[in-house]
């Protein structure tokens, strides 16, 4: 069952999302060669305290941090570490979520560390475009599969592949609600989209094949072929007129 949110609830989720969105604005300047992923985590810890929210990830199924920081061939769920340095030419995906007054916010972006290969810029642009096109397809009358197809076609037409093993999700009073929001699918299939549905759309796009595996730490997801991967995520509300992004400052 897909939980429909009232206008009041959507407003509460917009406040949670705005705090997530502002985190990315503020954290951006910390992303530079020589910084550790743990320095980003320390900033996130300070940020949640300063904003009077709870980090959504820390403690979730035993996850040890507020952020996921996934570098290059790491797809998602990379754990911040004092020993992990960002290097010139890397790309780093940052995923962050909060709980405010019982409602969840969640977003992710991939950043270039200094000057990166043209192919990585293309990968990041295609992943962000896939998210934008997925969001544009999230309107009443369309079906869930129409979001999935928009994401998949954007990524694949740029020569990349979409991860199958991890998907987007409904979100509300829990971080993960029904439905799953795959980044691949068939047009015109799945549940009908209706006003009040709130979804986290989050394409994970690989430069090579779509296969992934989990590292021995039990969390870090990497591409099977060790090609680079990008990840962009927003929480959106389906409205009468179309979709509204909730995870923006
Ligand atoms: N954005 C991710 C998700 O929606 C964050 C989960 S990371 C975890 O699933 F560590 F909390 F699991
Ligand atoms: Co998510």
Q: Please give the full DSSP string across 149-177, using - where no structure is assigned.
A: HHHHHHHHHTT-EE-SSS-EEE-SSSSSE
Identify how many contiguous H helices and E strands the chain contains and give both numbers.
4, 15
**Cα distance between residue 12 and residue 18, in whole Å:** 10
Given a contact cutoff of 8 angstroms between Cβ atoms, the answer to whether 110 and 231 are in contact is: yes
Closest-lying ligand 1 atom to the alpha carbon of residue 169: 4
By residue range, what is the domain housing residue 83? 7-245
Query: What is residue 32's predicted lDDT score, i.e. its pLDDT?
Result: 98
Q: How many separate domains does the chain show?
A: 1
Q: What is the CB neighbour count within 10 angstroms for residue 215? A: 13
Q: How far, CA to CA in Å, does 47 sit from each of 9, 56, 187, 230?
A: 23, 13, 40, 24
Give residue 222's pLDDT: 99
Quote the CA–CA distance of 116 and 170 in Å, as a whole number.
33
- CATH label of the domain that carries residue 111: 3.90.230.10
Contact between residue 166 and residue 76 where contact means Cβ atoms under 8 Å apart: yes
| CA-wise closest residue to 148 among 110, 186, 174 | 186
Q: Is residue 120, in this structure, part of any structural domain at all?
A: yes
Q: Compute the distance from residue 35 Cα to the ligand 2 centre, in Å.
A: 25
**Closest atom of ligand 1 to CA, residue 219:** 10
Q: Which atom of ligand 1 is nearest to the CA of 106?
A: 1
- Which of 223, 219, 220 minimizes the C-alpha distance to 207? 223
The reply to whether ligand 1 has any atom less than 6 angstroms from the CB of 48 is no
DSSP symbol at 143: B
- The CA distance from 136 to 94, in Å, is 23
Which pLDDT does position 190 carry in this prediction?
98
Q: Give the model's pLDDT for residue 161.
A: 98
90 lines ligand 1 (CB under 6 A): no
Q: Computed from CA positions of residues 228, 234, 240, 242, in that sequence, does the dihedral angle turn out positive or negative?
A: negative
Closest CA to 184 of 211, 157, 155, 206: 155
**Residue 55 forms part of a structural domain:** yes
Q: Which of 24, 48, 77 to mutate to test the pocket of ligand 1 (most atoms within 8 A of CB)?
A: 77
In-domain check, residue 12: yes
Residue 2 lies in a domain: no
Determine the distance from the C-alpha atom of residue 149 to the mean position of all C-alpha atoms in its chain, rounded to a whole number.
Answer: 18
Is 228 within the bounds of a domain?
yes
Instruction: Return the pLDDT at 174.
Output: 98
- Domain annotation covers residue 1: no
- The CB density around residue 191, as the number of other CB atoms within 10 Å, is 13
Does residue 104 line the site of ligand 1, with CB under 6 A?
no
**Which atom from ligand 1 is nearest to the alpha carbon of 108?**
1
- Residue whose entry in the numeric block shows the structure tokens 């993960």: 176
pLDDT per residue as tens, the chain (249 positions): 999 999 999 999 999 999 999 999 999 999 999 999 999 999 999 999 999 999 999 999 999 999 999 999 999 999 999 999 999 999 999 999 999 999 999 999 999 999 999 999 999 999 999 999 999 999 999 999 999 999 999 999 999 999 999 999 999 999 999 999 999 999 999 999 999 999 999 999 999 999 999 999 999 999 999 999 999 999 999 999 999 999 999
Q: Do 190 and 199 contact (CB within 8 A), yes or no?
A: no
3-state secondary structure of 35: coil
Q: How far apart are CA 56 and CA 105, in angstroms?
A: 8
Let me know if residue 94 belongs to a domain. yes
Ligand 1 atom 2: residue of nearest CA? 95
Q: What is the DSSP string of 199-230?
A: EEE--EEESS-S-EEE-TTSS-EEETT---EE
Q: Is the pTM of this model over 0.75?
A: yes
CB of 57 sitting under 6 A from ligand 1: yes
Answer whether 74 contacts ligand 1 (Cβ < 6 A).
no
User: How far away, in angstroms, is 103 Cα from ligand 1 center?
Assistant: 15
Q: Tell me, what DSSP letter sits at residue 105?
A: E
Q: Whose CA is nearest to atom 8 of ligand 1?
A: 57
- Check pocket membership of 166 for ligand 1, CB cut-off 6 A: no
């Amino acid at each position: 069952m897909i939980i429909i949110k009232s206008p009041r609830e959507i407003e509460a989720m917009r406040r949670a999302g705005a705090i997530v969105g502002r985190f990315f604005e503020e954290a951006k300047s910390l992303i530079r060669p020589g910084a550790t992923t743990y320095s980003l985590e320390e900033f996130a810890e300070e940020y949640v305290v300063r904003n009077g929210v709870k980090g959504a990830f820390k403690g979730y199924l035993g996850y040890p941090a507020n952020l996921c920081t996934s570098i290059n061939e790491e797809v998602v769920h990379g754990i911040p570490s004092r020993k992990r340095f960002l290097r010139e030419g890397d790309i780093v995906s940052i995923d962050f979520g909060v709980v405010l007054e019982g409602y969840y916010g969640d977003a992710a972006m991939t950043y270039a560390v200094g000057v990166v290969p043209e192919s990585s810029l293309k990968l990041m642009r295609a992943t962000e475009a896939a998210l934008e096109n997925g969001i544009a397809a999230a309107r009443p009358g369309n079906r869930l599969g129409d979001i999935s197809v928009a994401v998949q076609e954007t990524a694949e037409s740029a020569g990349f592949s979409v991860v199958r093993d991890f998907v987007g999700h409904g979100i509300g009073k829990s971080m993960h609600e029904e439905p799953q929001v795959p980044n691949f699918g068939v047009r015109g299939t799945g549940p009908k989209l209706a006003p009040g549905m709130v979804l986290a759309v989050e394409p994970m796009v690989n430069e090579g094949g779509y296969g992934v595996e989990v590292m021995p730490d039990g969390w870090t997801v990497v591409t099977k072929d060790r090609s680079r991967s990008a990840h962009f995520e927003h929480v959106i509300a389906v409205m009468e007129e179309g979709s509204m992004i909730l995870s923006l400052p």
